[in-house]
Structure 1
């Protein structure tokens, strides 16, 4: 028994096989990359913020931007201490220079400090 294939049939089969192979590669590539990762091509030396972390625990991350004044820092630190809560304080602009006593209180309370 002989099978006769025309150029058109061979081309159709070849395109179909290549399409299936391409789709397979795309799915395999998608599965290997984490959905939560961010890929960049430029090395800027900056770290990207973490927006979420996979965990089965019920947790939340709290942050506070220190940008205006330091009037309520004592009250805020007291509430955090009474509830055994740790947060990250982001110091905006020259806030650190304007309110060094508040920065020391935040640090002494064991809270995390970052400059934004």
Structure 2
């Protein structure tokens, strides 16, 4: 009788373990499916413009394609407020300014690309888009960044054909959900108000760090603490997609 009792208890114990394991497997599968759904639409690739609202993450993204002055001011503001961001760089710019790329990375920010020459992709043939992406990838690899996975199509312009090429190059297209149009220099207060009014969980904010922007660094002085007051946490695009914070590894 004692033997049967022990056997039943053993079966119950392993049964619970199996149920828990199956439950965890289902959760992992659902999570993977959710992440895949972010970048696909009935099997077709598309651009990510917003992350999940399940986490208090917001991604500040900065486009850089020319100039070497304003990016330093923006990096200082981000460092002062312990804010991580994702920088979308054109390969041509990165090639000319490897020291600045290194500074961006050392600030614990994520490096992403905007192709190489920053030409509008819908105006190019698919093979030309592919060549531009591959040239950019080679450039970043030479700088020590061999695992770039995010691309923002130059000028934010894309179509189905462009996304298919990007998908074929094993990259994911990233757009945005909040755009204060800071490159137009509409006024520091207008940039501040639009970002603070519109930004919430999962949002991707489009900003610039090229020399054309004159008010963005000043706006960040208010925007960064303002978003924290809304209980939002700054995250890279990778963290936004994965739903967890991580540390950027150092490039040797």
Residue 75 of structure 1 aligns to a residue in which SS?
helix
- Report the TM-score, using the length of structure 1 for normalisation: 0.56
Structure 1 spans left out of the alignment, 5+ residues:
1-33
- Correspondent of 2:90 among 83, 89, 92: 92
**Range moving further from structure 2, 96-105 or 55-64:** 55-64
Superposed CA RMSD in Å reads 2.6
- Correspondent of 1:39 among 38, 41, 64: 41
Deviation, 1:89, is 0.5
Is residue 2:52 matched to residue 1:50?
A: no
**1:57-110 CA deviation, whole Å, 9 max, x = no partner?**
443211111111111222111100111111110111400111111111111111
Matches of 1:52 and 1:115, distance apart in 2: 18
Residue 61 of structure 1 aligns to a residue in which SS?
strand
Aligned pairs for 1:1-116 (under 5 A) are: 37=38, 38-39=40-41, 41=43, 48-116=46-114
Matches of 1:74 and 1:89, distance apart in 2: 13
Structure 2 spans left out of the alignment, 5+ residues:
1-33, 115-252
Matches of 1:58 and 1:108, distance apart in 2: 25
Deviation, 1:56, is 3.8
Q: Larger relative contact order (C-alpha < 8 A, sep ≥ 6)?
A: 2
Say which structure is richer in helix: 2
**Structure 1 segments of 4+ aligned residues over 6 angstroms from their partners:** none
